[in-house]
Amino acid sequence: MLGGEVRDLAIADGRFVEVEALADPGRVIDAEGLIALPGFVDLHTHLREPGREDAETVLTGSQSAARGGYTAVHAMANTAPVADTAGVVEQVWNLGREAGWTEVVPIGAVTVGQQGEQLAELGAMARSAADVRIFSDDGHCVADPLLMRRALEYVKTFDGIIAQHSQEPRLTEGAQMNEGIVSSELGLPGWPAVAEEAIIARDILLAEHVGSRLHVCHLSTRGSVELVRWAKSRGVAVTAEVTPHHLMLTDELVRSYDPLYKVNPPLRTRADVDAVRAGLADGTIDVIGTDHAPHTAEHKCCEWTAAAMGMVGMETALAIVVEAMRDHDFGWSDVARVMSSRPAEISGLPEQGSLAPGRGANLVLVDPDAAVRVDPNEHATLGRNNPFAGFEVSTRIVHTVLYGHQVVADGSLTTAHPITEGGSWIV
């Protein structure tokens, strides 16, 4: 089923084709009762390789992505070494192609070593085989306004994007959770909403002044939604993402002191959750970005103050988005927009985000009436730090197709696939 309409999809040589043009389908998938969507595109993941393979590798992260319905994921630059040179981003790009479970698109660092002191090799990364177009120091804010301006000016020359981790460092020193009633009662140092909003406001004005593209990573507060809405009303080239966990969870969970709920930006209040849901529904927020951040058990199974910040989320993203948006006018076409077509458009991936004939055959088939209990121990990612463990959800990824090759069948991984190859069949 596509857009409420029951019809066939045909694939030949790794691309969607008109059904009538396919004389001899090599195989047929019975997708009765399933929803067909373009393969998902994630603008925000942490695949950890090189350097942190104990937490995740490009291979295991790619397998996790495929099981979550993702046919393209963007790998953040906070690896070891940092992806701040053409050599490192090409290494990540090649690892993705060798893995063959999803398209892996490297994100380059904005500054050398993510230190916020001097610009990295932005032009060299853009001209590399990885063809980098998005740059981010995610995990660190580009706090220096002059450096941020120069970065925006530089990437404008090749239609690049700066994806900002909006966190004013001086306002969040030692922060452990959202600043508010709960942090006061628990006695934990707070991360105030204004620390996010101040950077977003500054960067919107810089992007408008320069005429460049700005992407707001993991937006989390009511005020941030209003700022992005205001910027778009002015015609500023700003886009924004929200994570599944910020659509669903609140800072009340921190009362448990369970480090599963420790994340950056932190879980916010119910009013913030309601605001980001509304912003996603009305198009103010453009995309879902999982901020998939696997950690080893030693960095999560410890006391709250010592625990690392981050959550895994690619394998549960769709189900959580569906659950979070049930009270809004948010149908499957909206899911396709925020998880497929719009992120592909932002990143400039012409073969992703569409089921139209001639486009790359990247497809996910979804059971909208499943009954599933989230169990992180069954996931492909090395990370077990999923905050939705034990949740009952009603949406299940059944099949994922990458450039015409079925990498997931009935929820299980099949075989990897070189992206350049294809096959002929009908769904």
CATH class of domain segment(s) 30-422: alpha beta
Total residue length of the chain = 427
| pLDDT the model gives residue 20 | 80
Tell me the binding residues for Zn(2+). Answer: 44, 46, 138, 165, 218, 291
| pLDDT the model gives residue 411 | 96
Number of H helices, E strands in the chain: 13, 20
Name every residue whose Cβ is closer than 8 Å to that of residue 337 and which is 6 or more positions away in sequence.
none
Alpha-carbon distances, residue 319 vs 131, 244, 314, 365 (angstroms): 32, 9, 10, 13
> What secondary structure letter does DSSP report for 334?
H
pLDDT tens, position by position, 78-137 = 999 999 999 999 999 999 999 999 999 999 999 999 999 999 999 999 999 999 999 999
Catalytic residue among 54, 291, 329, 375: 291
Name every residue whose Cβ is closer than 8 Å to that of residue 7 and which is 6 or more positions away in sequence.
none
Q: Are 76 and 44 in contact (CB under 8 A)?
A: yes
SS (HEC) of 139-203: CCCCCCHHHHHHHHHHHHCCCCEEEECCCCHHHCCCCCEECCHHHHHHCCCEECHHHHHHHHHHH
SS (HEC) of 241-272: EECHHHHHCCHHHHHHCCHHHCCCCCCCCHHH
**Percentage with pLDDT > 90 across the chain:** 92
Q: Which residue has the tokens 């592909």?
A: 344
Q: Are 86 and 127 in contact (CB under 8 A)?
A: yes
Q: Are 372 and 351 in contact (CB under 8 A)?
A: no
| pLDDT the model gives residue 26 | 74
Amino acid identity, position 399: H
| pLDDT the model gives residue 424 | 55
Give the whole-angstrom CA distance, residue 128 versus residue 225.
35
Tell me the binding residues. Answer: 44, 46-48, 78, 138, 165, 218, 264, 291, 295
Alpha-carbon distances, residue 362 vs 10, 37, 146, 358, 399 (angstroms): 12, 9, 40, 11, 11
Does the bond joining 81 to the residue before it have cis omega, within 30 degrees of 0? yes
Give the whole-angstrom CA distance, residue 202 versus residue 206.
6
Q: Write down the H helix ranges in 28-73.
A: 58-67
Give the whole-angstrom CA distance, residue 49 versus residue 51.
5
| pLDDT the model gives residue 417 | 85
| pLDDT the model gives residue 422 | 46
Listed as ranges, residues in the chain with pLDDT below 70 are 1-4, 23, 25, 418-427
3-class secondary structure, 63:
helix
CA-wise closest residue to 103 among 340, 285, 336: 340
Q: Are 342 and 52 in contact (CB under 8 A)?
A: no
Catalytic, 42? Answer no
Model-level pTM?
0.96
| pLDDT the model gives residue 421 | 46
Q: Which residue has the tokens 């659950």?
A: 323
Q: Are 77 and 108 in contact (CB under 8 A)?
A: yes
Q: Helix, strand, coil shares of the chain as percentages rounded to 5?
A: 35, 20, 45
Please provide the distance, in angstroms rounded to a whole number, between the alpha carbons at the two ends of the chain.
10
CA-wise closest residue to 220 among 297, 285, 144: 285
Q: Are 338 and 287 in contact (CB under 8 A)?
A: yes
